Structure 1
Amino acid sequence: MSASVERWLTLEGLSNVRDVGGLPLRGGGTTRGGVLLRSESLHFCTPGDVEHLVDVFGLKLVLDLRTRREIERDGPTAVARAGVETVALTFIPEDGRELPETDGVDPLVHIYLGYLRNRPDNVVAAVRRLAAVDAGPALVHCAAGKDRTGTLVALVLDAVGVERDAVVADYALSGEQIEAMFRRWTTASGEPMPADLTPHIPRAAAMAEVLATLDAEHGTDGAGGAAGWLLAHGLDEADLEHLRKRLTESS
């Protein structure tokens, strides 16, 4: 069985849920399993899914990266109703203002860097919550678990020293579940499946370019630029060290 399959959680109402454990570190070792999950929206969680996440995985914290409008539309998740602390930290401005023109930049790169430019406060707050020594097992989600979640998780993985190819591959892995997610959503809404899902599939090259941009602007001494970006926007060195200790283990 491949490492990518082992990391997936098999749940009844969700498709794009996986553990970020088992990823290789630049200096040797791997990320810890059982610490951080990444997911699509928890809106379709079944009672069995909640039991697995809370009682088996031991989930203590959920970071919800959706907008206030998305959250109000769907209502509280079953996981939140089960008592798991749920913190809303949108990466998109709530005033609905448009991003500036892309000027030839890949639209996904533009969107992902826009999260960092427009809501650095919430990006850093999310990482700070994940770094807290008493946070317990955590889950990060947005709507599909690929763009906002993908950007935050890529920052976290790069900051703790995961090999760059593995960071990008983890981001792109959500593409395996795009069809399953759209099938669930359209079945629930009664709408037809899109004729072409290609625009919704995450592109590895986009995340590689985002991280390369951070390297150019914030990288030091051969380290990835995500850590430098986080420190430049208010994360403490102690928080970064706590994050590394929580998420990594030596070989």
Structure 2
Amino acid sequence: MTRPDEKYIFSDDEIYQIRHQIYHDLNNKPFNTWGSRLGILIALDTGMRPQEVQALRWNEFYDEEGFRVFEIHDSWNERTHELNMTLKDRMQGDTRRTLPLSEETIRFLHEYHHKQSEYLERKKIRNQNNFILLTLSDLARCTAGYPVAQRSMNDMLKSITKQLKIDSHGLGITMYTCRHTVASKLGNNPQMSYPWAASRLGHTLEMFMRTYVHPDKDKNKSMLELVVSSQTH
């Protein structure tokens, strides 16, 4: 049995495998099926909540100290099919900058923007909210202005991890697995400013440390070596 609060955390090798499977898929599959895969890449880079990923707009890219981040202010409500007009635990109008995007994610997003714009022009559909992840695989959802569904991203991530034979030891894998993974990697980095990391993820420091930081199995070897080293001195 597992504790209710136990979360699966992707290892560095698993993250590498997932990323490269998605890169392969993006290079070989029709662009109107890219949405969920791009959402996963964004989540693995930034640790954003899936509702925040859904609400991302093309005009929310922000250049910061030579890095590309998002400056966000909204999230998507899957139940009402509307924007929440705010971020979780924030006042309306408050913004938050995210963790930086990787070069590969930026490259694929740039390519996708071009393809998306051409597609919408051909179909004479207006992207009324300027969504990055506007649904393109379902014409009705696209016309209604809905972003890729959270369930679609969850299903895609599960499909990829199953294809890669990633064993989660009975723990669930969802888009929140990406968030917990990113937070745990930050929390296990001794050079990281935890208040800065918490702010980028949209949490107080206390919530960041209590809810989103878990033991990082990639640290096992170095931690064991550290203990043994201290025992011999």
Under TM normalisation by the shorter chain, which class is it? under 0.3
TM-score (structure 2 length as normaliser): 0.28
